[in-house]
Every structure is written in structure tokens, then in C-alpha cells.
């Protein structure tokens, strides 16, 4: 199965998607270094820096671009204005963000993702014009302590009820990635798997190999 979408007037085609979400902990130079290593193996790197100002987010992205990371692989959480200025792939909206329809009207060049947590939210986001959904959390995860995971059954139901791509998030690791994708999900999103790894590069290579069923050698990039 291939996923196809438009970014800044260009067509992007790939197999299952892999999104990496920032956790707001790394210093900019450390984050950019890791991002520059892993970007060949991912669909998107999400800048999810809740405490950062628009100017700080812009500075992070410009540093990424300076290190050779294509702006078309950057997704900015919430700030559609920043995403547009840096020619990012898109913007990830939450329940606190502006409505999808408003953002789509003002920033038609952006690929718009919406974070959802139920079938009803997924249907509503699709009706508003979201290009894809981020759904979770699927499994228990350290980023959601004490919260009951939604599980594979609910993910499968969301996938069934909408036509746009659904990206699964929450507690996904190489050993359960195939299970997740067997629901029909268009891809997966990870956070701690990368940022808490001893070697983020090896972690993303292992995940990529499983998700796209391709062997990645230790000394070759894509």
C-alpha cells in the first residue's frame, strides 16, 4: 500500500508512514543533530514544543533546514503560521487548535493533520477537511501515565469509519508495529522510542525495516 499526498505543490508517494514527534526535552542542538540522522527514514518530524514561542519554533526549524533536513519533512504542531512561513509539510492540530476548516482556508498549501481520540472525533475531523488523523494512544506509554490505552480494536474501527489516512500513536515499538499496521492504519507515530533510545538512528532503522519490510544496513542511508 502506498500513501500519496501533496506538499507545496509537489506529489509525495511512499509506503507506510513513520512520524516522529518531538518531546520538548532536548536542547535545540541535540534535537537537530538527532533529527538530521533519522530524517531519511521518516515521513515527518513533528515540532511539538508546547512551551516554545512561535519565534523559537521558527528558529528550531531553520536550524533543521540548515542541517539538510527538507522543510517538506517538517510538521509544526498548532502553529499553521510558522508552518506556512518555513514551507513545512504541514500542521498538526489538536482540540485546542483552530478548526481544521479555518486553517485549511487560510493555509491551503499545508497538509493538515488532526489529533483525535474517538470515532466521532475522527469523522468530524474528516468532514472538516483534515488530510490525515493522528489517533491514540494505542498501547500504554510513559507519556500518558495512568491513562487506559485505546487498543487495536478501536484503531481498527476508526480506520473503518474514515477514508483519510489514520496514523497510530502511543506505545508503538518494533515488536508491535506490524500488529498496528494490520488494522489498516496508514502509518505510525513514535516519540519515546526515538528520543529515549541509546541510538536513535538504530532505533529508526529497525522500525523502518519492519514497517516497510526492507532491510536497512548499518552504513547505508536510503
- Known catalytic residues are 137
Using DSSP's 3-state secondary structure scheme, residue 95 falls into coil
Nearest to residue 24, comparing CAs of 195, 144, 141?
A: 195
Helices 28-38 and 200-211: crossing angle in degrees, nearest 10, is: 40
Element (H, E) at 180: helix 174-181
Task: Work out the burial of residue 168: count CB atoms within 10 Å of its CB; fewer than 13 is exposed, 13-18 middle, 19 or more buried.
Answer: buried
DSSP single-letter state for residue 164: S
Distance between CA atoms of residues 156 and 166, nearest Å: 10
Dist. CA 163–CA 13, nearest whole Å: 17
Amino acid at each position: 500500500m502506498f500513501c500519496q499526498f501533496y506538499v507545496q505543490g509537489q506529489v509525495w508517494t511512499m509506503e507506510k508512514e513513520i512520524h516522529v514527534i518531538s518531546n520538548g526535552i532536548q536542547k535545540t542542538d541535540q534535537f537537530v543533530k538527532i533529527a538530521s540522522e533519522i530524517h531519511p527514514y521518516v515521513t515527518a518530524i513533528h515540532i511539538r514544543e508546547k512551551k516554545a514561542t512561535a519565534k523559537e519554533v521558527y528558529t528550531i526549524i531553520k536550524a533543521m533546514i540548515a542541517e539538510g533536513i527538507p522543510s517538506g519533512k517538517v510538521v509544526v504542531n498548532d502553529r499553521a503560521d510558522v508552518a506556512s512561513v518555513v514551507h513545512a509539510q504541514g500542521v498538526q492540530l489538536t482540540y485546542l487548535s483552530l478548526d481544521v476548516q479555518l486553517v485549511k482556508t487560510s493555509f491551503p498549501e499545508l497538509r493538515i493533520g488532526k489529533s483525535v481520540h474517538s470515532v466521532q472525533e475522527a469523522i468530524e475531523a474528516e468532514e472538516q477537511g483534515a488530510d490525515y488523523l493522528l489517533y491514540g494512544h494505542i498501547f500504554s506509554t510513559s507519556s500518558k501515565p495512568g491513562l487506559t490505552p485505546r487498543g487495536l480494536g478501536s484503531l481498527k474501527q476508526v480506520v473503518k469509519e474514515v477514508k483519510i489516512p489514520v496514523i497510530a500513536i502511543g506505545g508503538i515499538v518494533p515488536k508491535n508495529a506490524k500488529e498496528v499496521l494490520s488494522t489498516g492504519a496508514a502509518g505510525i507515530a513514535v516519540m519515546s522510542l526515538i528520543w529515549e533510545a541509546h541510538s536513535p538512528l538504530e532505533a529508526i532503522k529497525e522500525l523502518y525495516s519492519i514497517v516497510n519490510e526492507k532491510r536497512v544496513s548499518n552504513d547505508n542511508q536510503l
